[in-house]
Amino acid sequence: MEMGIPDVNIMVQMNTTTMRPSEAVQVCLDEKVPLFCAGLGNPGFMVDQAHARGMKVLGVTGNSKNARRMAASNVDIIVAQGHEGGGHTGRIGTMALLPMAIDAASPKPVLAAGGIGDGRGIAASLAMGCAGVWIGTRFLATVEGGALGINKQKILDSTDEDTRVSRAYTGKTLRASYSRFHDLWDASGLDPVPFPMQVLISSALIAGFIEANKPDYVGGLAGQISGLIHEIKPAARLLEDLVEETVDILSRKLPETVIAK
């Protein structure tokens, strides 16, 4: 009221993914999706059914304990996501997490996630022993990226210090572009309600801020690598650039600068 936020008439979609995960998993099994990735929790419970249908299963983890658990559950590929990543995130930085997750998941392959935005991050991940990378924020800031225009602009405007981890969005720790919504929630002293119900509250608030034209209070999910992103590219060109940069580092720059005797 004080801020002049209008009543918003929004329909917040609590879809099967958030409200009835087991039904969403069953749809994926019925459709035999080639790759199934679980972002929260161990997808081990559905691995045998997935393999019987020719599917591969990935699991995202933020620590080595869960990397070990997922590997023991026969998950095909473990995605180790560091604290700097956009979206739901754990407490351990990517650089520290990767070698520990690789050891814990062995012999299962690990993809590096969190803070990768160009060929340097990819080359470093490969050098660390990862089978590949899993990139979120950099692809969000593409022509095809699904974020609102205002949130893409926030990524472009961000420095490396302009994201925050907060439970105000979903009830779980989640990294997003900094906005005054973070300060407002912190100052309220309110505890977020448990995941996923907090999504209803934050979505309604943010829709109100957008409708009231208060962009200072709006920011989308994004990682610390936002500070490296200065251009919205078509996704295909970004992919080509990432591959070219990585190949250049591995085949030219490293052999020129690192001489092992």
Ligand X SMILES: Cc1cc2nc3c(=O)[nH]c(=O)nc-3n(C[C@H](O)[C@H](O)[C@H](O)COP(=O)(O)O)c2cc1C
Which residues in this chain contact ligand X in the complex, by CB under 6 A?
39, 60, 81, 84-87, 113-116, 134-138, 140, 221-223, 225
- Name the minimum Å distance from CB 113 to ligand X: 4
Cβ distance to ligand X smaller for residue 78 or 221: 221
Which residue(s) pair with 88 in the sheet?
Answer: 174
Using CB atoms within 10 A of its CB, is residue 235 exposed (0-12), middle (13-18) or buried (19+)? Answer: middle
C-alpha atoms less than 13 angstroms from C-alpha of 121 in its C-beta half-sphere: 23
Closest CA to 224 of 148, 136, 153: 136
Cβ distance to ligand X smaller for residue 208 or 226: 226
Cβ distance to ligand X smaller for residue 121 or 260: 121
Cβ distance to ligand X smaller for residue 43 or 208: 43
C-alpha distances in angstroms, 261 versus 126, 250, 258?
22, 18, 10
Cβ distance to ligand X smaller for residue 58 or 201: 58
Tell me how far apart the alpha carbons of residues 146 and 16 are, in angstroms, rounded to a whole number.
20
Which bin fits 87, alpha (ψ -120 to 50), beta or left (φ > 0)? left
**CB 233 within 8 Å of CB 242:** no
- Name the minimum Å distance from CB 134 to ligand X: 6
**CB 217 within 8 Å of CB 179:** yes
